[in-house]
Structure 1
Amino acid sequence: MKKMLLTSRCWLYAVAVLALLTSCASSKKSTSSQQYMNKQYKELKNVLNEAEVSIIKDSLKVIFPNNVLFASSSDQLRDEIKPTFSHFADVLNKYDKTKILITGHTDNTGTAAYNRELSERRAESTKRLLGQYQVNNDRMFTWGQSDRDPIATNDTEAGKAKNRRVEFVILYDVKQ
């Protein structure tokens, strides 16, 4: 129960941070911003066919498949994912009226302090790679989630691999 409350609280903080960073006011969004995001969604689905791309209210969420991003205890993206990130960056650059929140995650191996720091390094490493592909750093924000939001069990190696990830939340920037 305590872990569920902590996870819920983390998501509330994430929503608050996203709202502040992007100055999004969904009630003021026009149909053109929704069309813009829908168009970007379709292009991401087409380009990133191995990734999970979804629309959540006024934002897009991108999660790459398990076991392709990071080895255990590593913040270095695997070489085989880099060409995919190049295509991802191309779409992000084409749709430059958005902000990108990159959240790093870990499995539950190690101490809480170590996992927090590792998740932050994973998010920063991903931001640097996208920056190498010309995605503007001012559009990207990072946040380390540690092991607070697992998407699979940490009782198996396969589950731990799924939890070693970064997630992307893409929001329309109303200041554009």
Structure 2
Amino acid sequence: MKRMLTTSRYWIYAVLAIAFMASCASSKKSSSPHVYMNKQYKELKDVLNQAEVSIINDSVKVIFPNNVLFASSSDQLKEEIKPTFGRFAAILNKYNKTKILITGHTDSTGTASYNRELSEKRAVSAKALLGEYKVNNDRMFTWGLADRHPIATNSTEEGKARNRRVEFVILYDVKE
């Protein structure tokens, strides 16, 4: 009888150990996107000194200010930003389990239709340059938001300058 109890106890320990290991494996798997995005965030933060890089939940946001990317009222990227975009693209290519939403923004100067068109052209221009650096076009989506989401006041020149920007929101692709 004592031997039977000891054997039963070993079986219980074995089942508990297997259940514990299985739960650890599944929790590792569920935290995988979080770890993946944190690694990408850290690399982007190190490489992109001209941009604001932040992590929100499991997405990474990169904001390039207008004065770094474009001349005033232009959608043509400045030549001097191309090396930075090359480094940005290299990290995006390394972490290819993501989708990238590229949003263009303007200040409130100009008509609504002009701002909408300019913001979309800026987003498309940024997407095209990343495409030149082999970032897969199927991963990138553009959206012109005009002056709808200001990050500063439009009543000062400094605020307007901050509002003229391109943002990249990098999201983990759950289909991967």
For the aligned pair, the TM-score class normalised by the smaller chain equals 0.7 to 0.9
Structure 1: segments with no counterpart, 5+ residues: 1-28
Q: Which whole-Å CA distance do the structure 1 matches of 2:109 and 2:66 have between them?
A: 17
Deviations 1:42-73 (A, max 9, x none): 11111112321111111000112452122221
Q: Which whole-Å CA distance do the structure 1 matches of 2:44 and 2:149 have between them?
A: 24
Residue matched to 1:26:
none
Q: 1:155 Cα shift?
A: 2.3
Aligned length: 148
- Which structure would you say has the larger RCO, counting Cα contacts within 8 Å and 6 or more residues apart? 1
Larger radius of gyration: 2
Name whichever of 94-103 and 68-77 sits farther off.
68-77
Deviations 1:64-120 (A, max 9, x none): 245212222111112221111110000000000000000000111110011011111
Q: Which whole-Å CA distance do the structure 1 matches of 2:53 and 2:134 have between them?
A: 22
Contact 1:102/1:166 (8 A) holds in 2: yes
Task: Map 1:1-176 to 2 at 5 A.
Answer: 30-65=30-65, 67-176=67-176
Contact 2:66/2:166 (8 A) holds in 1: no
Q: Which whole-Å CA distance do the structure 2 matches of 1:66 and 1:122 have between them?
A: 10
More helix by share: 2
Question: Partner letter of residue 108 of structure 2?
Answer: N
TM-score normalized by structure 1? 0.80
TM-score normalized by structure 2? 0.80
Question: Partner letter of residue 142 of structure 1?
Answer: T
